[in-house]
Amino acid sequence: MSKTVVVTGAAGYIGGQISLLLKDAGHKVIGIDRRQYPSNLSGVFDRFVRNDFASDAALNVLIQERPDAVIHCAATSLVGPSIEHPDEYYNNNVVKTLKLLDIVCQAIPKTRIIFSSSAAVYGTPIMNPCHEVDPKEPISPYGHSKLMIETVMESYRVAYGLDYVAFRYFNACGADSQ
């Protein structure tokens, strides 16, 4: 059964790889990214919106398309620079994601959110290997921003019935040239 899926941060490595897999599985894939349409993903997207994921243009596409899921990979994502410029990280990763979640809850409440979180929510893990239930003690604005959204999504689940899951990536790499 084919689904419509929106991927934010679709021009990035994780978003691009997810988009490729979704297309191979027969789904309608809508990419959103403020970066240019990636040439190595030619033919993957049924629709591509070159804009910020929280822009009116991008949010209007969500409302029009009424996707079954939004895979939210868009983020400002480097730990080091987050310490020097925390405002960029809190604005992009928290404020703009709140806007996205509000639109989903208000206009398309049956849409599932798959959130690209980060192992940075653990800070310096107390055990190796790290487990999902280990304490979350981020040590950077980047890690804090990801944990904030996880907390918001749980609150939205309770209050509004938001259907979500968060994946905490440790290190994303692969053989694809993207």
Residue range 134-163, pLDDT digits in tens: 889 999 999 999 999 999 999 999 999 999
**167-174 long-range contacts, CB within 8 A, separation 24+:** 167/114, 167/115, 167/116, 167/117, 168/117, 168/118, 168/119, 168/121, 168/122, 168/132, 169/14, 169/116, 169/117, 169/118, 169/119, 170/119, 170/130, 171/119, 172/13, 172/14, 174/13, 174/17
Active site amino acids: 142
- Whether the CB-CB separation of 82 and 141 falls below 8 Å is answered with yes
Q: Report how far residue 79's alpha carbon sits from residue 55's, in angstroms, rounded to the nearest whole number.
A: 25
* pLDDT tens, residue by residue, 22-60: 999 999 999 999 998 878 888 999 999 999 999 999 999
pLDDT tier for residue 67 given thresholds of 50, 70 and 90: very high
Residue 173's pLDDT is what?
Answer: 67
The span from the CA of 101 to the CA of 78, in Å, is 23
Work out the average pLDDT over 63-76.
Answer: 96
- Helices vs strands, H then E, count in the chain: 6, 6
For the entire predicted model, the pTM comes to 0.92
